[in-house]
Amino acid sequence: MLIARDLRIDVGPRTLITGASFSVQSGDRIGLVGRNGAGKTTLMRTLIGELVPVEGSVLRSGTISYFSQEAALPALEHPDATALERVLMARDIGAMQRRIEEARHRLHDLTGDDRDRGIARFSRLHDEFEAKGGFVAEAEAKRISAALGIGNDELTQPVVTMSGGQRRRVELARILFAETDIMVLDEPTNHLDLDAKGWLIEYLSTYRGGMLVVSHDLPLLDEAITEVLALEHGEIEPYRGNYSHYLVERVARRDRKAKQRRHQDQHIARLEENIRRFKGTTEKMAKVARAMETRVERMKRELVEIQKSGKKVRLSFPQPIKSGRVPLSAFGLAKSFGDNLVFVDIEFAVEREERMLLIGLNGAGKTTLLRILAGVETADLGEVSLGHKASLGYYAQEHEQIQGGKSVLEHMREAAQLPEQMLRGLLGLFLLADKVSQDASTLSGGEKTKLALAMLVASRPNVLLLDEPTNNLDPQAKEALLDALTLYEGTIILVSHDTDFVAQLAPDRAVLMPDGEMKFFDEELLDLVALA
């Protein structure tokens, strides 16, 4: 159980949330909604105890799990832990399994009495594992993992060698396998394909524990939740029902408030008119006017507050200097991580102003290929060639270019040698003007996305390498990004699982990973995008 009482949460000198009171109990399935930067992730981190509120308290009971929208490498008890071990460790089954494996390996080096004792230890650990339901639990962990798109090969892969998307799916499987009393989930459907999303939504819709979820995935918010907490202008307002019901009810509440406010304003206006009439007359009427003034002052303090509509992200990429006809080419690229061969013999050339999409299942090497093209990672074989006047701008889905200890404005200064007033203006377009001095690593996922995009705009590249740029963006910001990319006259190489976004951007060609097959893009490939 989670109970929040009168929380006030500050970020630097700014009060982010005030007076927040609510609870998450067994059977509750609550969606926390609000614009990027409203404070959803910060509130979640406060609820689980990672952050401390300035005022108020959080009461916790039972077991609570937290799924972060960040794909950072988790702290591992064993550096070489596989994905399956990571999932099983949620119930300590993984640790037992590793002890069994270590005992089995030691048998090879033992002789005589030591070997007999080793066999006895192995048998004892094996019996204990079976008694605690280890084999059943392992089958369950594999079932959950498979449903989330984690294949058998990935389950045996060390977590440290996995991509960000693979790690997030492993962490999600771990949390679902843990069967905690309360789940706090931040954007759980990012990096999931269509089938995995459908399975997760069904799983969450029947979950018997308590759940608080942040998501921009509308099907999840409609099918898996029964209550909405809307975070707007620093305050929490509860709504019963799913997200679609919330949208309707929010308009109805605002209409009621606007109507009530009009009546209040009209009443005050009548009283003020009477005050002006009575003040210059008799002493008796002047006394009545003073009483009316006191009443008006009280009424003004009790006016219904009408929230202004939030500002919108305004995004446009400055038209870049034209590159040569072929700004970027790949020749015979190959990459492996240990024994895991990701891809081999990838070759293509992208032309000026072309939109190219990299398609493939999770783990097919899309992000790895993009990192090699960007020069962030090195291929084992092959090379990348930049054409005449080509300049690259790379957007990393894990926001790895955003560093702790540096402010938002410092990141912008490193991205481009532009006047500070222009850099601040760009941040304003991305609704980050009030965060220029904030440590960039403390931004929410959506705000980090906006900062990374602002840095791209400032650097004015003519080749954009974009890895899941719509993750963590609210619908309005996603629409602004799509409009900006549609008008952009440079070259785009894109990785995205967002079917609607890809369809509207209308790529020219696609590279199918991991084989590297090149195809002209058509609507039939959208089915593959949904599986990415």
Q: What is the pLDDT of residues 235-251, one digit of tens each?
A: 899 999 999 999 899 88
Provide the percentage of residues in the chain whose pLDDT is more than 70.
93
DSSP-derived pairing of the beta strands 227-232 and 210-214: unpaired
Does residue 137 form part of some domain? yes
DSSP-derived pairing of the beta strands 29-33 and 517-520: unpaired
Provide the percentage of residues in the chain whose pLDDT is more than 90.
36
Does residue 255 form part of some domain? no
Does residue 142 form part of some domain? yes
When pLDDT is averaged across residues 70-97 and rounded to a whole number, the result is: 74
Does residue 256 form part of some domain? no
Does residue 110 form part of some domain? yes
Does residue 341 form part of some domain? yes
Residue that is last in its domain, among 159, 179, 199: 179
When pLDDT is averaged across residues 179-200 and rounded to a whole number, the result is: 88
Q: What is the pLDDT of residues 109-125, one digit of tens each?
A: 777 777 777 777 777 77
CA-angle at 90, arms to 84 and 93, nearest 5°: 65
Q: What is the pLDDT of residues 33-71, one digit of tens each?
A: 988 778 898 899 999 999 899 999 999 998 999 998 876
pLDDT at 401: 81
Answer whether residue 72 shows pLDDT above 70.
no
CA-angle at 61, arms to 57 and 62, nearest 5°: 150
**363-366: long-range contacts (C-beta < 8 A, 24 or more apart)?**
363/151, 363/154, 363/162, 363/163, 363/165, 363/166, 364/513, 364/514, 365/335, 365/513, 365/514, 366/467, 366/495, 366/513, 366/532
pLDDT at 497: 85
Domain total for the chain? 2
Say if residues 519 and 510 touch (Cβ distance below 8 Å): yes
Does residue 376 form part of some domain? yes
Residue that is last in its domain, among 179, 199, 215: 179
Does residue 246 form part of some domain? no
The residue range of the domain holding 146 is 79-179
The CATH number of residue 430's host domain is 3.40.50.300
Residue that is last in its domain, among 179, 211, 232: 179
pTM metric for this prediction: 0.69
CB-based contacts of 188, cutoff 8 Å, min separation 6: 67, 172, 200, 213, 215, 220
pLDDT at 492: 94
